[in-house]
Chain A
Amino acid sequence: MLELQMRHAFGDLDLELAFRSEARTLALFGHSGAGKTSVLNAIAGLLEPRSGRIVLDGEVLLDTAAGVRVPIAQRRIGYVFQDGRLFPHLSVRHNLLYGAPARDATYRTEFDGIVDLLELGPLLERRPHNLSGGERQRVAVGRALLSHPRALLLDEPLTGLHAEARVQVLDYLRRLKQELRVFTVLVTHHADEVGALADEVVRLSAGRIVRQVPIAEFVARRAAFAAKEP
């Protein structure tokens, strides 16, 4: 469960929003510059809002009024950045293991499970510069998952991919949703990604929440909107 309330201003954007969600996959949907990535950065701790309170699964990650700010490294948030941000000097294997906690007996099974799920086996000894865009995003997702996150943040994970890779990564993300039970926040400006992955949608525009709706209502609204189009 995620409770978020924040106020922040930078550049032309004045961000002021509050929401609470119990969905397993929440989509933050809106045009570029709506403030979606800022919300992810605030959850991960990469952005400290001027004021705000963020509670994830009952743990207060940030409460500016009470002076609480859990350090980024201790938040256990798996962040899949838009550009992947794989470590260029490390192999795929070592990228995947970077955030993995101490290597106990279960780590091997878990590692193999994620590698199988995302079909990363043939890529393990490669360096990021030898991967395609879709492969990089799959490694980034695997790396985030192996860090045992309480929440997975996906920032436009399909942006910049060509059509075939988009379909492929979307399919992997769907599989992840079915097989792993990790609370996920998806940021996107593509309605089809929202429809394929989310359970609930928070629509943002110019730093404000326009509406928060369950996925069925979002899909119905989109269908109605499409029907009106000539």
Chain B
Amino acid sequence: MTALTPDEWQALGLSLRVGLIAVVAALPFALALAWLLSRKRFPGRALLESLLFLPLILPPVVTGYALLALFGVHGPLGELLGAFGIVVAFRWTGAVIAAAVMGFPLLVLSIRAAFDGVDRRLEAAAETLGAGAWRRFATITLPLSLRGIVAGCVLAFARAFGEFGATISFVSNIPGETRTLPIAIYELLNTPAGMPGVQRLALVSLLVALVASVSAAFVAGGAPWRRREDA
């Protein structure tokens, strides 16, 4: 098996960039939503949770179509962004949105589980010591959930890295712009003599998935102080 071709490197680089930016962009929203679901009771909470799961349940192509309808040049959000000269449909930025939307439920679920795992009595102790809501979040909740948050980021990145259906429906397959690694594999599958390229990229995908999976398991393994106390 030979080395990756320039086009394959380009697809790999784009996938890595899209995956990373998608996770970074989704993280603040995921933290806020996870905190809300973990700590607050409010009307419409069950509906919000159901909506959160939609990208996991819907066929990705449908999610991509919904994104196109929203962010397309004539979509409501597309028109709004267009007023500021921003176009995302058929651009790599659109691939980031598709990846972020598809990875978002995994990110929120992991972070919420991490927040749920924080001993609320520690937050109460911090409150009696004069800490307001932001300080409690920044100094108690966040550091004690850090491993879960990082594990969630790794999983969401892996999901974003492998995103295909929503991306191809929303931003199509434009070399150098929206042709991410899975789309490049799909393209090679439909190309005569493309099989060696498919094998190379499949191997790269496998490596990325393995690294993500192992690092998520390693990171989520628990804080050293917890491990020792549990022992």
A positions within 8 Å CB-CB of B = 44-46, 72-79, 81, 83, 85, 87-89, 98-99, 101, 127-129, 143-144, 147
Contact = CB atoms under 8 A, between A and B. Distances in A.
B228 A87 contact: no
A129 B121 contact: no
Interface footprint category on B? 20 to 34
Contacts of A45: 128
Contact of B128 (A77, A87, A127, A128): A77
Contacts of B226: 88
16 contacts: A45-B128, A46-B124, A72-B124, A73-B130, A73-B131, A73-B132, A77-B128, A79-B128, A81-B125, A88-B122, A88-B144, A98-B131, A98-B139, A99-B128, A143-B129, A147-B129
Contacts of A76: 130
Given A89-B223, A98-B129, 19 more contacts: A46-B127, A46-B128, A72-B124, A73-B132, A79-B125, A83-B121, A85-B121, A85-B124, A87-B125, A87-B139, A88-B144, A88-B225, A89-B144, A98-B139, A99-B129, A127-B225, A128-B225, A129-B228, A147-B130
Nearest to A85: B125
The A interface is mostly helix, strand or loop, or mixed, namely loop
Contacts of B144: 88-89
Contacts of B143: 89
Given A88-B225, A89-B225, A73 B121 contact: no
Nearest to B143: A89
B223 A87 contact: no
A81 B121 contact: yes
Contact of B122 (A72, A77, A85, A127): A85
B130 to A, nearest CB: 5
Nearest to A99: B129
Contacts of B132: 73
Nearest to A146: B129
B140 interface: yes
A74 B130 CA distance: 6
A18 B226 CA distance: 42
